[in-house]
Structure formats: C-alpha cells, structure tokens
Amino acid sequence: MLDGRAHGLEAPLSSESPQINEHDVLDVLDVLVIGAGGAGLRAAIEASAGGVKVGLLCKSLLGKAHTVMAEGGVAAALANVDDRDSWKVHFADTMRGGQYVNNWRMAELHAKEAPDRVRELEAWGAVFDRTADGRILQRNFGGHKYPRLAHVGDRTGLEMIRTLQDHGIHLGIDVHMEFTVVSLLSEGPRVVGALGYDRERGRFRVFKAKATVLATGGIGRAYRITSNSWEGTGDGHALAYRAGAELVDMEFIQFHPTGMVWPPSVQGILVTEGVRGEGGVLRNNEGRRFMFDDIPENYRSQTADNPEEGWRYTQGDKNARRPPELLTRDHVARCIMREVKAGRGSPHGGVFLDIAWIKERIPNAPEHIRKKLPSMYHQFKELAGLDITTEPMEVGPTTHYVMGGVRVDGDTQMSSLPGLFAAGECAAGINGANRLGGNSLSDLLVFGKRAGEHAAIFAKANGPVTIDERQVEAATKRSLEPFEHAAAQENPFKVQQDLQGVMQDLVGIVRMEEEMQRALTELDALKRRAGQVGVTGHREFNTGWHAAQDLGNLLMVSEAIARSAIERKESRGGHFRQDYPDKDPAYATINIVVKCGPDGQMQVSRVPIAPMPAELKQVIEENK
C-alpha cells in the first residue's frame, strides 16, 4: 500500500540530533527494494510473487523515476520486423558493443530472456506500437544489427513505468515515497536493512530486511552536462561501497552523442537515438555527413558506405547496411567532438541532427515525424522554439549512463556481500565498456526480475536479522552534521557545482593521466569543503540538507571513476585516453574493481574476466 503520512499541525523537526528511540522501526521486511524505477519495480513485483513481504523506497514520487526519460525502446530479439534476428545475434551485438569486457553470462541471459520480459510487459497492459499484422513493432538503433527495439513512439520508458507501477501496487507492496537512504545496515558481512529519512518531514526510519535490492540508477549528476534527472547522484553505488561491496567498470561512462545544446537552460536533455533510427542524419556546419569519414574496422562490414544504402536500411531494406549515424554511442560522441574541435561545429558548440530532410524521400514527412517522434517534436518546439519537421536540431554529447556499478553474480544479482543485491544501472557487468541503446530497458526487466526472485529466495533461506543501534546512531549523527555547520561558508550546491566542473573538464569524454591526477587533487579539496558544508532551518523538506547528503555520494563515485580511469591505460568503449589512444590486449581480459579498504581509503585492483565457454565464442564468430 502507499505510505500514508500524517499531515497534521506537528511542530517542525529541529536540527538537533534525535535520540535513537525517535526512529520508527518497521515491521520486519523480507525484501527491501531501494529505488522505484524499472529495475526496482520489477524486482519488487518478482519478490512479492515469491510470497515474501516487500517494501519499496523511492527518492522521488512513485512513477517519477528517471526510467520515464528512456525514449527509444526496449531491445529484445522478438524478430517481428526481421526474422533473421535471434538471441545469438543480440548477444554478439552486446558483446561487440561492450568491447568484450562484459560479464558474458549476464549478456547471454539478457539476450535469451529479454523477449519473454517484453511479452510479459505487454500482457500486463503495455501498449506498444504495432506492425501491420498486429505484432509489436521494432525499430533500428545504434549498434544493433537488425530492428530490435520494441517501442511506444518515443515514450517507451514512461509506458514501462506506468505498466509496472499499475501491476505492482495491486500486489500489497509497501511503497514509501520521497525517502532518502543514508546508510545500509550490517550484521557482520550480511546487509540487514537500511536507515533513511522522509524528505517531507525529516523523520528517520529504520528498514529491517532479510535481503536488500539496490536499484537506484546512475551517477550523471557528477557531471555538468547530463541527461540525468536530479536523482542520479550515485546513491546505490555509494551505499554499497561504504557497506563493503565491490564496484566494477567505473571508468566506463557513456556520453550519449545527441543531447540538446541550446538554449542553455535545457543543455544536455536527451534527443533519442530513435531520431537517427527513423532516418535522421548528422551534419557539420559545411553540410557534410561526417560520420562516413570514420567507420571502425570491426563495424565496416555492417555499415553503409553511402547515403543511399543508409536510407534504405532505415526504411526496412533487409539487404542494406546501417548508416554510420547508428554506430555505437561512444564512437558517435567522439566523432561529434572531433568536428567541434576542428571548427566545423554548429553555432552553439554541437553539430546538426536533421530529420526534416526526409521530406525529399517521403510524402507527408512532417506528419510522419510527429507520429514517430511526438516527444521530440514537442520538446524542441516548447523548449527551443524549433520545429524539427522543418529545420535541424543542434546536438552534442551529454553524460548519459554509467556502465560501472555494483559487482554482482550474473545469475542471482547478489553482490559480494550476503543479502545485498543490485539491478539496473547501479549494477554492472552486462554492458562492458559501452552500452547499446535500448539494452538498458531490457536490462531493467531481465535483471530486475532476477534480483527480486533471488532476494526472495535468500530471505526465505536465511533467518531473522538484528539491527545494531550503534550503527543507526552513528549514521544519523553523520547525516545531521550539516546543521552543526550552519555558520560555515560552504554551500552544498556550490560544492556540487564545482565538483561537476572538475569531472566535466578533467575526467570527461577525452582523458589524460595528468588531468585525471589533477582531478584527484581537486576531489580531495572538495571532500574537505564538503565536510564543512552548512545548512540552516529545520529538517522539513530542507533542500540544502538533501543536497548535502547527495554530495557525499557524488564525491565517492567521482573518485571511483577517476581512479579506475587512471588504472586502465588504454582506450576502450566509453573510456578514451588521449595519451593511450589504442586498445591494449593486456586490458582485454581484466575488469577494474574498486573497494573500500580497512583504512577507509579506496583500493583499486585488476580482476581477471572468467573464460567464455566455447559455444558462446562460436556464437560471436558466426555473427561477426
């Protein structure tokens, strides 16, 4: 049921540290899910189906998670548009996109199970676009060999959340909205719940659980230009790290090639890859389609070498190869930056994305564009005063997704800590060095289900838990420290802004050792400033206090990104180093792992990737 909060005439809570007995300890939960996006909702649904008591926490309001911003579609080898597609081709595409440092078991499970998860979503009420014969329609997307993305116009994530939310609230799941989690709680190595507070009233609560699932999304707010909503502050990454779990692949950040660049108020807002899937092209200020200039060797056989063939591909010609605009996101983003640095960019520092040109090819093009891309049409019309049916958009790279996250078991999604599971963007493995568009939504469904299922199994198999009140007291005291520094000059919003500048400028799309070492020095200084951040007023919806909590998480994930990026002395996927511009075979067989050491310092190590079975190697060879 939804959390019923009292809205009486209670006195505002003061900033003084509460006594332990002020906490409300909930009835014991079997499974606690932190995060109510696609992965969290799917995990809660599956755990509930396992017959256990489930609690679901969300930082925002239910239905407002960042998943709603996913536009293009959900990748699954349904083979409704091209019958040559299969799980094997999807698996090979995912591994190739991830530069073969993926967790191959997760990539295999994802490719095999995604079709069933999409059909399940349809059975629960999702209204997908349709083929002429009534099947789920699929569109082209970057890095996918065949049309694979099931979609609802360009509002697929919104439809997914609506469907999962409607299905989930009828299962008796306890939903607590507008909660910030400040610490996981442990009993030995086992995670046994979490401490959080109600953002509206500022009251702390202990959530006692036999198993906990993290589904908190990404870290985009560590950067100045990002497509991520305000919630993307690395909360799950930081909670897991501080509890002792391992994080992996944190150097791999995806900069989506097409975010809005003008006006400044909307800089970074995503422009779906579906625009290019429907025939949109990228041009520089000379009017040239520059993507034809740089087609990677491992994609050359699958990529059109002329505009005519590329157009035919977007219109469903099975004998045509994909246009270079639909190469992987990391490559397209770097090509755009190359044009801008060479002085061939658009007036506001991007390039031009043009879908209006299709009027040369099809009748009633404006109507066709508005039907296929309704959100994009309204987004540019309302925010930039631009009609995409008649003129090109200005776009440029925006921080979009982190491939790194909590290191989990491929089958169960359990972390290196007993009782702690993770799914979605805050987990890692499936994507390797770069995520293919559309794989995020199917990842949420496949591994959200698996995390919920195995969390319920773990809860049933393991006994009751005990909460250590000393942990609760210490975490509460730390959380309230900004009120003790009310007279300090440090503003949490200013510190976060400075952090975003450091990451954008020194650990961005193009990286160098000297700059990243400088970033670590800057991050140390920012940590000291964060320790002196002060807020005033009471605890009721105190935005400064909320920002202070986020700041600690952002600093932790930023350090993990920088240290991992320094350790990987090569360029691969979303990690490009100007001082090591080529791939190094020595790094093709390892993942970079970070963990909190006994002294509280971040430890970085190289962990060998498990050998891939011969049958999966054969699948990749057959689909090169």
Q: For residue 194, give every residue at least 6 positions away whose Cβ sits within 8 Å of its Cβ, in sequence order, or none.
A: 32, 34, 57, 181, 183, 184, 185, 206, 207, 209, 212, 239
CA angle in degrees (0–180, nearest 5) for 403-303-97: 15
pLDDT level of residue 4 (50, 70, 90 thresholds) = very low
pLDDT digits (tens, 9 = 90+) for 318-346: 999 999 999 988 899 999 999 998 999 99
Fold of 257-399: Flavocytochrome C3; Chain A, domain 1 (3.90.700)
Q: Is pLDDT of 26 > 80?
A: no
Say which amino acid occupies 445. L
The CA distance from 590 to 600, in Å, is 25
pLDDT digits (tens, 9 = 90+) for 254-306: 999 999 888 787 888 888 888 998 999 999 999 999 999 999 998 899 999 99
pLDDT digits (tens, 9 = 90+) for 180-208: 999 999 999 999 999 999 999 999 999 99
> Of residues 407 and 65, which shows the higher confidence score?
407
Q: Is pLDDT of 7 > 60?
A: no
* Parts of the chain belonging to CATH 3.90.700.10: 257-399
Helix (H) or strand (E) holding 49: helix 38-49
The CA distance from 522 to 498, in Å, is 9
Q: What is the 3-state secondary structure (H, E, C) of 246-278?
A: CEECCCCEEEEEEEECCCHHHCCCECCCHHHHC
pLDDT level of residue 35 (50, 70, 90 thresholds) = very high
Q: Is pLDDT of 154 > 90?
A: no
> Of residues 22 and 249, which shows the higher confidence score?
249
- Provide the 8-state DSSP code for 138: E
Say which amino acid occupies 96. R
Identify the pLDDT of residue 331: 92
Identify the pLDDT of residue 497: 96
The answer to whether 212 and 419 have CB atoms below 8 angstroms apart is yes
Nearest to 33 by CA among 11, 13, 52: 52
Q: For residue 15, give every residue at least 6 positions away whose Cβ sits within 8 Å of its Cβ, in sequence order, or none.
A: 480, 483, 484, 486, 537, 538, 539
For range 47-66, the mean pLDDT: 93
pLDDT level of residue 22 (50, 70, 90 thresholds) = low
* Parts of the chain belonging to CATH 1.20.58.100: 473-608
Residues with a catalytic annotation lie at 256, 276
pLDDT level of residue 27 (50, 70, 90 thresholds) = low
Q: Is pLDDT of 11 > 80?
A: no
The answer to whether 155 and 374 have CB atoms below 8 angstroms apart is yes
The CATH number corresponding to 22-74+152-254+400-461 among 3.40.710.10, 1.20.120.330, 3.40.30.10, 3.50.50.60 equals 3.50.50.60
pLDDT level of residue 5 (50, 70, 90 thresholds) = very low
pLDDT level of residue 13 (50, 70, 90 thresholds) = low
Q: Is pLDDT of 217 > 50?
A: yes
Q: Is pLDDT of 8 > 50?
A: no
Please confirm whether the linkage preceding 374 is cis (ω < 30° from 0).
no
Maximum distance among all Cα pairs of the chain, rounded to whole angstroms? 71
Identify the pLDDT of residue 25: 58
Helix-then-strand count for the chain, H and E: 16, 22
- For residue 518 the two structure tokens come to 């400088």
Q: Is pLDDT of 23 > 80?
A: no
Least-confidence region, from 60-69, 179-188, 462-471, 574-583: 60-69
Fold of 473-608: Methane Monooxygenase Hydroxylase; Chain G, domain 1 (1.20.58)
pLDDT digits (tens, 9 = 90+) for 98-148: 999 999 999 999 999 999 999 999 999 999 999 999 999 999 888 899 999
pLDDT digits (tens, 9 = 90+) for 544-567: 999 999 999 999 999 999 999 999
* Residue 605 CB neighbour total at 10 angstroms: 12
Q: Is pLDDT of 610 > 60?
A: yes
Q: Is pLDDT of 50 > 80?
A: yes
* Parts of the chain belonging to CATH 3.50.50.60: 22-74+152-254+400-461
